[in-house]
């Protein structure tokens, strides 16, 4: 039942512009010199078509990402910046399916120094971990992750990040570390991958992007701010 | 099934720095040479802007590195543990493809100190035999600094190193490294332009009485034509250097220097996509007859007969092939016998960060080797008596780049997410100075390489197994020298100082530390204790030579490739001037 309700809510959100997963973009003109992320919520929702996540997972991942990157005076939320789309595309693609990983068995548990030892490609890990976190939320808090109070969600995020949350079959910290890294990638990777919308991740820190002929700049701007409009791969292609 | 090819004089396995140098030197000598490389060729368009400036693709998904789905190694800290596969790249990043790791290296190009070449004698003489820990396998290198000097010089001029000499023929030079061994002449190019971080590090370390000098760089400080007539461009301080190929042809790399120079010789042919699975031996096991390889494009298997086999497959790959082929006796730590796999070393590396409210560093303007270093705590440049360990470190400020996925720091105590994290990230990204401590590592009895009993690669062959941990000596070194670096950072007067976190056992294969894996096929004076003689020739199979840092009896506090390049030219010279005249063991026991 809960599943259906959530799915309905999401569908509705796309149509009438309400719903938990669609935050507003309160960016100030100062923080966002060239803010293109100001289309209405409906436009945003329709831009968020997922290839990998199902609707339950969408509710989870949007809440997860927006907890890490909330909308505030510095930027719109992670979801608005395309971070969930970034993760979705990664999981649907070669990386998510385990490209460039050694996945052959046997798979006994190892020490933490031995690194990743699950038989799962990243996409499988996400799927199982989201299910396990949701099962925990239902059991302990009686509701899905996206419906928790911010303080409850914070508690779960902390317990995931330090591994103290016991999930069924999935090591919580292994999932959290992977997802956390992916969120940072979605915020700071070139916009061609679907995140870092309007280069808001780069604007946040002042990274100029792909134009990088600095042989003279390194002397001219030594100790001085270097303020330019950041450029990505698509701008030069 | 297997196609047997026409015999050649020399087959080289691997086309990185060592393979490229050998291809050039031996084809110049008129030999027929085939270079086999498991990875792809490089195209001119491969590293062009804007696509090369893609941090996710190259520095996070590791596009230019070894693909561990096909071959990897297994790892454990101690012989009593079960080794498990390195399922993703982490601690180190072996290269793949024409140019090897030389394509995506930083380019910090050092000479080892004269003490490094005579380490055991030096330690015994200055501190006494009892100073050496029981399980430490300390050895002198079988060639001296003075013998290698001309070959260091040759590598530096080929690669156009930008730097400042500290000791020319015994005369100390202002602004260079006063601790270095004497060199015949100045570097071919002047140092790179300093960053703000470089200037601050220089000023502070001088005040503290240390001797800062610019890091010697394979990033060209000006356009350069090397002695082979190869032209290199001027470094653009683009900040997409290590992990990336250079768009400006300004980073000396094998695929734009020694390999094209070798390809001018018709008697050299380069075969990419050729994965060597074993070195074939004659029935008596004392002579190599060539190598077997598989085309990774077609799956076809080939045998390449050759009079001389040169392994240039990166240190780890060399040892793996020796173990798979039965060249030399595998090392057994329990009985302390055998040589192949012995002496595997790594580095003891730490990072110190300092945060300055009132400074702007523009970290995205950087180059792979840009920075300033002190050698006051490297090698035996200081008295080890009071500190009670052997070895040292280069301590340096690094202005590599400010790529925002990976190169971002916040002061200690910052939450990992949320608005506070965002504020701190936005503020400190441009206000952080980074320093590194690159510590040496001595061979230890239970740190070694052998074949894994369980896991296999895509060719059905056993993976190599790494058994490795940090020792007491490493922990003492790291505690002392991380504190020295931390004190330097404090003396700069930062608003916040990052944590002081020396390396401690157990070693973890997960976080990146350095791609400076050494040993496993060490060179020495004694065939019972080393796999190779002083010309990097196998004691057991004399028509096999093994290049690379696998020959290092210990790992120094420097980046290895200067010494790797010098040793390769030294071995090539021995092949040309000694071996070809009288093929067989160059040293008799
Ligand atoms: C990110 C990074 C930064 C670095 N920065 C520095 C630095 O600043 N200074 C420094 O001194 N060093 C640095 N290094 C290390 C440096 O790149 C190596 O020391 C150097 O490239 C070693 O040369 P090599 O010829 O031994 O191996 P490589 O250059 O790696 O070449 C080995 C080649 O052999 C091939 N090969 C392996 N196995 C087989 C097989 N079975 N069949 C066929 N081919 C095979 C590989 O594909 C590869 O192309 C860095 C390394 C990395 C990864
Ligand atoms: S920093 Fe210099 S040498 Fe390195 S990739 Fe950029 S231009 Fe090339």
User: Whole-number mean pLDDT of chain A?
Assistant: 86
Average pLDDT over residues B145-163: 98
Give the model's pLDDT for residue A33. Answer: 41
Catalytic residue (choose from B117, B255, B273, B516): B516
Residue B588: which pLDDT band, with cuts at 50, 70 and 90?
confident
Residue B478: which pLDDT band, with cuts at 50, 70 and 90?
very high
Q: Where are the domains of chain A?
A: 50-205, 208-237
Ligand 2: centre distance to CA B401 (Å): 10
Residue B435 inside a domain? The answer is: yes
Which residue, among B40, B5, B9, has the nearest Cα to B26 in the 3D structure?
A: B9
Which residue, among A131, A54, A118, A126, has the nearest Cα to A90 in the 3D structure?
A: A126
Average pLDDT over residues A83-93: 98
Give the model's pLDDT for residue A215. Answer: 97
Residue A25: which pLDDT band, with cuts at 50, 70 and 90?
very low
Average pLDDT over residues B400-426: 97
Interface of A with B in 115-154 (CB under 8 A): 115-117
Residue B89 inside a domain? The answer is: yes
As a whole number of angstroms, the distance between CA A216 and CA B492 comes to 26
Q: Which of B201, B404, B460, B462 to mutate to probe the A interface, most A CBs <10 Å?
A: B404
Average pLDDT over residues B132-138: 97
Average pLDDT over residues B241-250: 97
Provide the shortest C-alpha distance from residue B142 to chain A (in Å).
35
Interface of A with B in 178-217 (CB under 8 A): 180, 184-185, 188-190, 192-193, 201-202, 204-210, 212-215, 217
Q: Would an 8 Å CB–CB cutoff place B61 in contact with chain A? A: yes
Residue B300 inside a domain? The answer is: no
Residue A17: which pLDDT band, with cuts at 50, 70 and 90?
very low
Residue A107: which pLDDT band, with cuts at 50, 70 and 90?
very high
* Ligand 2: nearest atom to the Cα of B401: 1
Which chain A positions have a beta carbon within 8 Å of B362's beta carbon? 217-218, 221-222, 224-226
Query: Which residue would you say has higher pLDDT here, A127 or A48?
Result: A127
As a whole number of angstroms, the distance between CA A116 and CA A149 comes to 32
CB neighbours of A54 closer than 8 A, spacing ≥ 6? Answer: none
Out of A114, A189, A225, whose CB is closest to B405?
A189
Best residue among B234, B236, B242 to mutate for probing ligand 2, ranked by most atoms within 8 Å of CB:
B236
Residue B501 inside a domain? The answer is: yes
Which chain B positions have a beta carbon within 8 Å of A114's beta carbon? 75-76, 84, 509
Q: Do B49 and A193 touch (CB under 8 A)?
A: no
As a whole number of angstroms, the distance between CA B421 and CA B424 comes to 5
What percent of chain B has a predicted confidence (pLDDT) above 70?
Answer: 100
Which residue, among B342, B248, B408, B338, has the nearest Cα to B552 in the 3D structure?
A: B342
Q: Is A56's pLDDT higher than 60?
A: yes
As a whole number of angstroms, the distance between CA B144 and CA B154 comes to 16
Average pLDDT over residues A92-110: 97
pLDDT tens, position by position, B212-225 = 999 999 999 999 99
Ligand 2: centre distance to CA B250 (Å): 6
Average pLDDT over residues B200-227: 98
Best residue among B13, B42, B95, B158 to mutate for probing ligand 1, ranked by most atoms within 8 Å of CB:
B95
Q: Is B574's pLDDT higher than 70?
A: yes
- List residues bridging with B351 in a β-sheet: B436
Residue B355: domain span: 63-96+106-252+314-579
Q: Is B316's pLDDT higher than 50?
A: yes
Average pLDDT over residues B246-257: 97
Residue B298 inside a domain? The answer is: no
Give the model's pLDDT for residue B514. Answer: 96
Among A25-29, B389-393, B501-505, B511-515, name the one with the lowest average pLDDT. Answer: A25-29
Average pLDDT over residues B98-103: 98
Q: Do B423 and A180 touch (CB under 8 A)?
A: no
Give the model's pLDDT for residue B581. Answer: 96
Residue B500: which pLDDT band, with cuts at 50, 70 and 90?
very high
Among this protein's residues, is B516 annotated catalytic? yes
Query: Which residue would you say has higher pLDDT here, A7 or A149?
Result: A149
Q: Is A24's pLDDT higher than 90?
A: no
Number of domain units in chain B: 1
Residue B340: which pLDDT band, with cuts at 50, 70 and 90?
very high
Q: Do B85 and A104 touch (CB under 8 A)?
A: yes
What percent of chain A has a predicted confidence (pLDDT) above 70?
Answer: 80
Residue A21: which pLDDT band, with cuts at 50, 70 and 90?
very low
Which residue, among B430, B111, B427, has the nearest Cα to B239 in the 3D structure?
A: B430
Q: How many helices (H) and strands (E) does chain A have?
A: 9, 0
- Is residue B493 within 8 Å of residue B502, measured between CB atoms? no
Q: Do B237 and A218 touch (CB under 8 A)?
A: yes
Give the model's pLDDT for residue A47. Answer: 60
Q: Do B362 and A189 touch (CB under 8 A)?
A: no
Which residue, among B124, B171, B170, has the nearest Cα to B145 in the 3D structure?
A: B170
């Amino acid at each position: 039942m809960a599943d259906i309700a959530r799915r309905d809510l999401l569908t509705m959100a796309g149509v009438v512009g309400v719903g938990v997963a669609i935050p507003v973009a309160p960016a100030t003109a100062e923080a966002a010199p060239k803010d293109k992320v100001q289309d209405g919520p409906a436009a945003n929702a329709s831009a968020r078509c997922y290839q990998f996540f199902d609707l339950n997972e969408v509710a989870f991942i949007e809440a997860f990402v927006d907890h890490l990157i909330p909308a505030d005076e510095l930027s719109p939320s992670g979801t608005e910046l395309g971070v969930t789309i970034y993760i979705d595309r990664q999981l649907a693609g070669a990386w998510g399916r385990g490209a460039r990983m050694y996945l052959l068995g046997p798979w006994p548990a190892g020490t933490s120094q031995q690194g990743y030892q699950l038989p799962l490609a990243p996409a499988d890990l996400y799927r199982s971990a989201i299910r396990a976190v949701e099962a925990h939320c239902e059991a302990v808090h009686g509701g899905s992750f996206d419906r928790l109070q911010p303080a409850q969600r914070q508690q779960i995020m902390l317990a995931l990040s330090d591994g103290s949350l016991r999930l069924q079959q999935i090591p919580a910290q292994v999932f959290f570390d992977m997802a956390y890294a992916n969120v940072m990638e979605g915020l700071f990777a070139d916009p061609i991958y679907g995140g870092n919308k309007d280069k808001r991740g780069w604007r946040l820190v002042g990274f100029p992007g792909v134009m990088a002929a600095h042989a003279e700049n390194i002397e001219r701007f030594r100790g001085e701010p270097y303020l330019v409009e950041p450029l990505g791969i698509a701008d030069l292609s | 099934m297997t196609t047997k090819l026409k015999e050649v004089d020399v087959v080289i396995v691997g086309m990185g720095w060592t393979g490229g140098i050998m291809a050039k030197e031996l084809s110049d000598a008129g030999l027929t040479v085939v270079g086999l490389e498991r990875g792809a060729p490089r195209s001119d368009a491969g590293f062009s802007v804007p696509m090369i400036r893609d941090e996710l693709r190259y520095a996070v998904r590791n596009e230019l590195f070894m693909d561990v789905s096909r071959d990897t190694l297994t790892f454990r800290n101690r012989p009593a543990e079960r080794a498990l596969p390195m399922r993703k790249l982490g601690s180190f990043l072996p290269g793949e493809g024409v140019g090897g790791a030389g394509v995506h290296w930083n380019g910090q190009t050092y000479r080892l100190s004269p003490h490094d070449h005579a380490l055991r004698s030096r330690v015994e003489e200055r501190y006494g035999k009892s100073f050496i820990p029981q399980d430490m396998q300390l050895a002198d290198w079988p060639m001296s600094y003075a013998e290698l000097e001309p070959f260091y010089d040759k590598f530096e001029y080929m690669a156009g190193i930008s730097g400042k000499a500290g000791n020319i023929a015994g005369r100390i030079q202002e602004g260079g490294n006063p601790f270095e061994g004497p060199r015949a002449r100045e570097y071919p190019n002047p140092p790179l332009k300093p960053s703000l971080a470089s200037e601050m590090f220089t000023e502070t370390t001088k005040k503290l009485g240390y001797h800062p000098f610019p890091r010697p760089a394979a990033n060209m400080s000006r356009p350069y034509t090397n002695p082979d007539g190869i032209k290199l461009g001027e470094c653009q301080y683009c900040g997409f250097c290590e992990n990336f190929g250079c768009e400006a042809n300004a980073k000396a790399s094998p695929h734009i220097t020694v390999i094209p120079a070798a390809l001018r010789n018709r008697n050299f042919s380069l075969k990419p996509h050729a994965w060597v699975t074993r070195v074939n031996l004659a029935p008596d096991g004392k002579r190599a007859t060539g190598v077997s390889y598989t085309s990774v494009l077609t799956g076809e298997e080939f045998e390449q007969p050759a009079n001389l086999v040169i392994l240039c497959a990166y240190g780890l790959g060399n040892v793996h092939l020796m173990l798979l082929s039965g060249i030399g006796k595998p090392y057994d730590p329990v009985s302390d016998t055998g040589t192949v796999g012995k002496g595997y070393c790594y580095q003891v590396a730490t990072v110190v960060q300092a945060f300055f409210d009132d400074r702007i560093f523009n970290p995205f303007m950087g180059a792979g080797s840009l920075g300033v270093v002190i050698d006051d705590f490297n090698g035996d440049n200081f008295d080890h008596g009071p500190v009670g360990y052997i070895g040292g470190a280069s301590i340096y400020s690094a202005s590599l780049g400010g790529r925002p996925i990976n190169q971002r720091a916040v002061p200690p105590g910052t939450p990992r997410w949320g608005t506070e994290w965002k504020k701190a990230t936005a503020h400190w990204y441009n206000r952080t100075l980074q320093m590194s401590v690159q510590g040496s590592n001595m061979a230890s009895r239970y740190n070694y390489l052998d074949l894994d009993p369980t896991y296999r690669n895509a060719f059905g062959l056993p993976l190599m197994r790494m058994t490795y941990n940090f020792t007491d000596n490493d922990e003492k070194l790291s505690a002392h020298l991380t504190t020295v670096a931390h004190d330097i950072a404090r003396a700069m007067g930062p608003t916040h100082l990052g944590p002081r976190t020396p390396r401690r056992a157990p070693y973890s294969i997960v976080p990146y530390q350095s791609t400076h894996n050494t040993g496993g096929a060490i060179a020495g004076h004694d065939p019972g204790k080393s796999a190779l003689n002083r010309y990097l020739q196998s004691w057991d199979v004399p028509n096999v030579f093994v290049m690379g840092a696998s020959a290092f009896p210990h790992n120094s506090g420097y980046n290895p490739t200067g010494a790797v390049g010098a040793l390769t030219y030294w071995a090539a010279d021995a092949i040309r001037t000694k071996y070809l005249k009288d093929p067989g063991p160059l040293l008799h026991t």
